[in-house]
Amino acid sequence: MWKNTSKNQVQQYMQHNPYRLLALSFFATMTIGTILLMLPISHAQGLSTTLVDAAFTAVSCVSVTGLSTVDTYHHWSLFGKIVMVILIQLGGLGIVSFTTIIALVLGRRVGLKNRVLLSEDVGQDGMKGLLHITKKLTIYTFCVEIIGGIIYTIQLYPYIGDAALYTGIMQSISSFCNAGFIFFDNDLPYAMVGDVLFNMNTMALIVIGGFGYLATFDIWSHRKLRRFVDLKLHTKIMLVGTTALILLGTIIFLGVEWANPKTFGPLPIWNKIMASLFQSITPRTAGIATVDYNDLHPITLFITIIFMFIGAGPNSTGGGVKISTIAVAFLASRTLFNNRSDTEVFERRISLITVLKANGIIFLSILFVLFATCYLAWDEPYDFIRLLFEVTSAFGTVGLTTGITPNLSESSKWVLMLVMFTGRVGVMTVIGTWALRTAPTKPISYAEERVLL
């Protein structure tokens, strides 16, 4: 009887708050991944893997970040790399989405509890058509990854030979999921800074993966009309925001790094433009680089930090606070100067709860990043800008680094793991696992009083 009561209490505790189940599913997957990566078969012959390195890699894979404390190409065996790719796929597609698809394939019924959790995982408000959306995003994901894998295989074959047959698919999954892991020699992307096929394929996978499923499906459903005005408001914001960030980043990176002898300086003009475009896209949570970020100008590092914090789109494989969140906060601040009480854009009004949520996400995220950076600054000897870069890269699930990750202390690595976990499941989800409360609606409201700002 005690066992049944205890079990029911645990179930009620978990089911009452879908945030807990979502966070627990990621944590469980990271734990299993850590165990698998610690097996002797997972690392190359003659090497060994410590607990912190295995855990860091597993968390980085599931959170689709790309930061690593060991060299991915040389340290892990083929089995270890396959484990990493599976973890990346689970983290990118969404663990709940992936398990739901398996249940549907096996003919099992998806209950109400799992549907609620699934709606949190894919970022869908409500449960109408939820399973249909999950099927579509799974098919969409695999199709894009296969196409990208074929292109990678063709492009990489002259460099790495037969290994390109499987490395191409691995790299395609990593790029589409915005994971940032390189499954071939880390120095090779630097040599391919002007390789059009590699750059275009990688940038396309990053943008498509980070744009967001629902916005992509909305564009596809209006493909015959081809009218911007017919799209949903979220899709319009994502299109404008993504385009603006890519163009702005390209111009800034090109201007700052143009004469830098360690980065863009020696490159031909076309390669400079290509490198600027690539470096503008990759901070949007992808983490693959064609120049050494250790050699970038501090201004470029700071702009990259801002881009990494913003991240990609909601219900995508990317991280960060999301483009739409920043857009809503910007539009809300604009109302201070246009003498309007409502937040409006494209002849639509954004609800107050959305504005409050956007500002809350940004505030809590900044607070979290600053606390983590302060700890690393206390524990590590590196410049503050590099530590802030590292923490923001982890929070935005980007994977870019100035090269200090392997040299961090164990305590700093565990802090970065927490940052990566929070960045993947979302700061609201982490806080919501213990802070969510269901309060009755108040029949009255308190008297309003001004606060000086």
Which alpha helices (H) appear in 380-426, and where do they start and end?
Answer: 384-395, 410-425
In a domain, 56, yes or no: yes
Tell me: pLDDT of 5 over 50.
Answer: no
- Please indicate whether residue 430 or residue 111 has the higher confidence score (pLDDT): 430
In a domain, 164, yes or no: yes
What does the pLDDT read at residue 424? Answer: 82
**pLDDT band at 150; cut points 50, 70, 90:** very high
Q: At what angle do helices 130-160 and 196-211 cross, to 10 degrees?
A: 160
> How do residues 171-230 score in pLDDT, each as one tens digit?
999 888 888 888 887 778 888 888 888 899 999 999 888 887 778 887 887 777 777 777
Mean pLDDT within 81-86: 92
Where is average pLDDT lowest: 26-35, 79-88, 276-285, 442-451? 442-451
CA angle, residues 451, 344, 352, in degrees to nearest 5: 45
End-to-end alpha carbon distance in the chain? 57
In a domain, 10, yes or no: no
Where is average pLDDT lowest: 55-59, 159-163, 359-363? 159-163
Where is average pLDDT lowest: 114-123, 181-190, 314-323, 440-449? 114-123
The partner residues of 43 in beta bridges, in order of sequence, read 76
Give whole-number Cα distances, 270 to 145, 262, 365, in Å.
Answer: 28, 17, 37
* C-alpha dihedral, 362 to 68 to 163 to 195, nearest 10°: 50
Tell me: pLDDT of 352 over 50.
Answer: yes
- Please indicate whether residue 35 or residue 341 has the higher confidence score (pLDDT): 35
In a domain, 176, yes or no: yes
**pLDDT band at 14; cut points 50, 70, 90:** very low
The partner residues of 76 in beta bridges, in order of sequence, read 43
**pLDDT band at 419; cut points 50, 70, 90:** very high
What does the pLDDT read at residue 306? Answer: 93
In a domain, 191, yes or no: yes
Mean pLDDT within 151-178: 88
> How do residues 278-325 score in pLDDT, each as one tens digit?
999 998 778 788 888 888 889 999 999 999 999 888 777 778 888 989
253 CB burial (10 A radius; 0-12, 13-18, 19+): buried
Tell me: pLDDT of 148 over 70.
Answer: yes
**pLDDT band at 10; cut points 50, 70, 90:** very low
What does the pLDDT read at residue 432? Answer: 63
What does the pLDDT read at residue 195? Answer: 84
Mean pLDDT within 385-391: 93
> How do residues 266-280 score in pLDDT, each as one tens digit?
889 998 999 999 999
What does the pLDDT read at residue 2? Answer: 41
**pLDDT band at 433; cut points 50, 70, 90:** low
What does the pLDDT read at residue 102? Answer: 46
Give whole-number Cα distances, 79 to 39, 82, 180, 434, in Å.
Answer: 10, 5, 19, 37
Tell me: pLDDT of 427 over 80.
Answer: no
In a domain, 321, yes or no: yes
In a domain, 218, yes or no: yes
Q: How many domains does the chain have?
A: 1
Amino acid at 27: F
Where is average pLDDT lowest: 7-21, 41-55, 264-278, 304-318? 7-21
Q: Which two tokens stand for residue 201?
A: 């394929």
Which pTM value belongs to this model? 0.85
Where is average pLDDT lowest: 21-25, 45-49, 71-75, 107-111? 107-111
**pLDDT band at 417; cut points 50, 70, 90:** very high
**pLDDT band at 443; cut points 50, 70, 90:** low
Domain that residue 349 falls in = 15-432
In a domain, 4, yes or no: no
The partner residues of 349 in beta bridges, in order of sequence, read 344
**pLDDT band at 19; cut points 50, 70, 90:** low
Average pLDDT, the chain: 81
What does the pLDDT read at residue 436? Answer: 54
- Please indicate whether residue 188 or residue 108 has the higher confidence score (pLDDT): 188
- Please indicate whether residue 155 or residue 16 has the higher confidence score (pLDDT): 155
Judge whether 37 and 66 are in contact, CB under 8 Å. Answer: no
Tell me: pLDDT of 126 over 50.
Answer: no
**pLDDT band at 137; cut points 50, 70, 90:** confident
**pLDDT band at 59; cut points 50, 70, 90:** very high
Give whole-number Cα distances, 349 to 232, 240, 333, 343, in Å.
Answer: 12, 17, 14, 6
What does the pLDDT read at residue 90? Answer: 85
Tell me: pLDDT of 105 over 50.
Answer: no
